[in-house]
Structure 1
């Protein structure tokens, strides 16, 4: 039992080291430095999300077959290969293979880590502590991601290779920690189904609940557009003459406001009720359009506010969708939600890169803001339909 108890403590350290990603705030700049234009960068990110979407179900089967620990170990090996390829690749297809391995590492770890923690607590008879443990993990993730982004950009001022080399060291450290996990004896194996059966069950669930279908399109659009601003923000500020150290500070401030936004989410829902998402999404759109007229310093303010506002929406979207289905179908929802976001990124990210090459990122951000305004307007109209027959029982925070 002591070895199972150690899983919780090891996972705190493992999560902190894994999320200390030195490349998160510089990978767009690095690819541009290596000769990729914005369209190619967008296509690479599209390949990442296409791979993630295709690997969603197979990686779940791997976790069931091999166990949580081995799957986590495989995720770190895949992440290590991805980083090595980013350093050694000499062209688009080399980077594409790196992004495929990166997506695979994300899929392999995304469910296995949470499952290992829950299974460990369950074996110890302490599963009621999962929410508290998970809250600590989310805090560790936010803090270490912000620090990693800051230090990575700081190191890149001296050398991109230095940032990626240290990222490799952290990945190896996380791999070694993962080897210290003990497989829990109790874990509920999910029913293995083919992609065809999974897709059929998913479609039946969505058809039976139009509110859920609406959420699976609406929130991923908002979050995908915001993610595009975040990633292309690296190149935007570089084109504005901001140094890598300056970009590091900007992304650190973005993380601070994101943490504040996540904490404020519950308070805003109590105050704004069903209008929360509409108001927050419109504020995000206003910030995007504001890039066109803003000076450099004000662009930084707008960028950080977008990060904070987006963080407000993430727990709201999760709560809204989780309340719409029974517990036994929750895994399916998570899978569909992840796939929906990937589809939006596949559609929007490469297109934004092409537009950015043609007319510049400032205009691209404005156009994305206008698209978001249209989507919010349509979403508000649809939400009024749900409110007309569900009233206060409606879970959509529109």
Structure 2
């Protein structure tokens, strides 16, 4: 029988495999194009993405509290089950209502994983007294995540040239396997016990309120959540809308898959270097330089006819900010509230997407992609200026 130390070490290794499976979504480079092929306008697609993030916004923190109170493993497994249900709905979708159901279940799946997975890894490391290795573990995890994305985008793009459903059915099989695999994790012990009474509705609400109070008291945590998640959301807008931009230029699904895969491959490479970069530049300089490069690249996407190189830089900086930002946040928060607070971060991401994703879709639909990309770059620039002012005040 394995000791708890061996089980926690096993959690870290298993999580690398799970990360690969979770991001091996053959549908990720196809669903927007698929919706358009089913008659959805860019405005409707923008609203559907908004529905995803409204669901995520309202359910993110409650699902994070589920992970804190009832277990990271349970939350993760439930998330995989809902992901499986969502892909089955996508396969049969023919209307806006069907796609809405797909988006709601996909959002709930994302919610259940977003706080629980990261908390499971960090608390496993904490039990091993190896929290300082989290940034390197997260960097390797992000690299595996991106490698998985590369393979998925290439295979998905290839299958999509024949039939979108080939890619979706293959993806459903992979998700089904990940459901089974998620059951192999061991729940990490939480030294800061939440207590039996916390597993009531009153305790559930208290968990949310206490976590929010911690963020409100700690300006550094609040700033990191606001700044990092907003940059990540703008990067996601580039990722999604550039697919339809390239499709409008006559690119095939396989060609678009290659472009997206190239960005993911480079993102995976740089993600493993974040720990070294963080040691070299220190936290404050990382938060100044990386977002600045990202914003400059968004202007490149907006103004240059060859958008691919700038898209790749946006993808690389997104991966680096994800790793660095999450490491900085996890060092500042207690285990008993970890999944809930991480969920607050994801909630900020959803809030930004709810506001801006449909707006950019509407602009692209009624005016042009060029104006939409310029609008995004302007907003990202304003955000950067505001964030540098806040960073100076926080110190």
User: What TM-score do the two structures reach when normalised by structure 2?
Assistant: 0.84
Mark the CA change 1:139 to 1:363 in structure 2 (over 3 Å): closer, same or farther.
Answer: same
Distance 2:283 2:74 in 1: 43
User: Which residue of the partner structure matches residue 213 of structure 1?
Assistant: 222
Given that residues 295 and 381 in structure 2 are in contact (C-alpha distance below 8 angstroms), is that contact kept between their aligned partners in structure 1?
A: yes
User: Which residue of the partner structure matches residue 311 of structure 1?
Assistant: 319
Choose from 293, 297, 308 the match for 1:283. 293
Query: 2:166 matched to 1:162?
Result: yes
Which segments of 5 or more consecutive residues in structure 2 lack a partner in the other structure?
none
Mark the CA change 1:211 to 1:244 in structure 2 (over 3 Å): closer, same or farther.
Answer: same
Mark the CA change 1:307 to 1:171 in structure 2 (over 3 Å): closer, same or farther.
Answer: same
Given that residues 82 and 99 in structure 1 are in contact (C-alpha distance below 8 angstroms), is that contact kept between their aligned partners in structure 2?
A: yes
Given that residues 68 and 183 in structure 1 are in contact (C-alpha distance below 8 angstroms), is that contact kept between their aligned partners in structure 2?
A: no
Distance 1:211 1:18 in 2: 31
Mark the CA change 1:260 to 1:100 in structure 2 (over 3 Å): closer, same or farther.
Answer: same
Given that residues 65 and 208 in structure 2 are in contact (C-alpha distance below 8 angstroms), is that contact kept between their aligned partners in structure 1?
A: no
Query: 2:98 matched to 1:88?
Result: no
Give the CA RMSD over aligned residues: 3.2
Given that residues 19 and 145 in structure 2 are in contact (C-alpha distance below 8 angstroms), is that contact kept between their aligned partners in structure 1?
A: yes
Which segments of 5 or more consecutive residues in structure 1 lack a partner in the other structure?
388-398
Mark the CA change 1:182 to 1:227 in structure 2 (over 3 Å): closer, same or farther.
Answer: closer
User: Which residue of the partner structure matches residue 380 of structure 2?
Assistant: 372
Mark the CA change 1:376 to 1:157 in structure 2 (over 3 Å): closer, same or farther.
Answer: same
Mark the CA change 1:217 to 1:150 in structure 2 (over 3 Å): closer, same or farther.
Answer: same
Mark the CA change 1:195 to 1:239 in structure 2 (over 3 Å): closer, same or farther.
Answer: farther
Mark the CA change 1:109 to 1:283 in structure 2 (over 3 Å): closer, same or farther.
Answer: closer
User: Which residue of the partner structure matches residue 310 of structure 2?
Assistant: 302
What does residue range 19-168 of structure 1 map to in structure 2 within 5 Å? 19-60=23-64, 62-63=66-67, 68-113=72-117, 126=128, 128=130, 131=134, 136-168=140-172
Partner deviation per Cα, 1:356-386 (whole Å, 9 max, x = no partner): 1111222111111111112212222333333
CA shift for structure 1 position 99: 1.0
Distance 1:284 1:314 in 2: 13
CA shift for structure 1 position 176: 3.2
User: Which residue of the partner structure matches residue 395 of structure 1?
Assistant: none
Mark the CA change 1:13 to 1:337 in structure 2 (over 3 Å): closer, same or farther.
Answer: closer
Given that residues 72 and 116 in structure 2 are in contact (C-alpha distance below 8 angstroms), is that contact kept between their aligned partners in structure 1?
A: yes
Partner deviation per Cα, 1:61-113 (whole Å, 9 max, x = no partner): 55567655554433222111101111112211111111111111222233444
CA shift for structure 1 position 275: 4.0
Aligned residues: 382
CA shift for structure 1 position 121: 8.0
Distance 1:68 1:328 in 2: 11
CA shift for structure 1 position 134: 5.7
Distance 1:324 1:266 in 2: 17
Distance 1:209 1:119 in 2: 21
Given that residues 57 and 195 in structure 1 are in contact (C-alpha distance below 8 angstroms), is that contact kept between their aligned partners in structure 2?
A: no
Choose from 260, 265, 280 the match for 1:256. 265
Distance 2:275 2:122 in 1: 25
Mark the CA change 1:84 to 1:261 in structure 2 (over 3 Å): closer, same or farther.
Answer: same
Distance 1:75 1:326 in 2: 23
CA shift for structure 1 position 254: 0.3
CA shift for structure 1 position 325: 4.5
SS of equivalent residue, structure 1 residue 25: coil
SS of equivalent residue, structure 1 residue 81: helix
Distance 2:231 2:256 in 1: 24
What does residue range 178-257 of structure 1 map to in structure 2 within 5 Å? 178-179=182-183, 181=184, 184=187, 186=189, 190=194, 191-192=198-199, 197-198=206-207, 200-257=209-266
Given that residues 290 and 366 in structure 1 are in contact (C-alpha distance below 8 angstroms), is that contact kept between their aligned partners in structure 2?
A: no
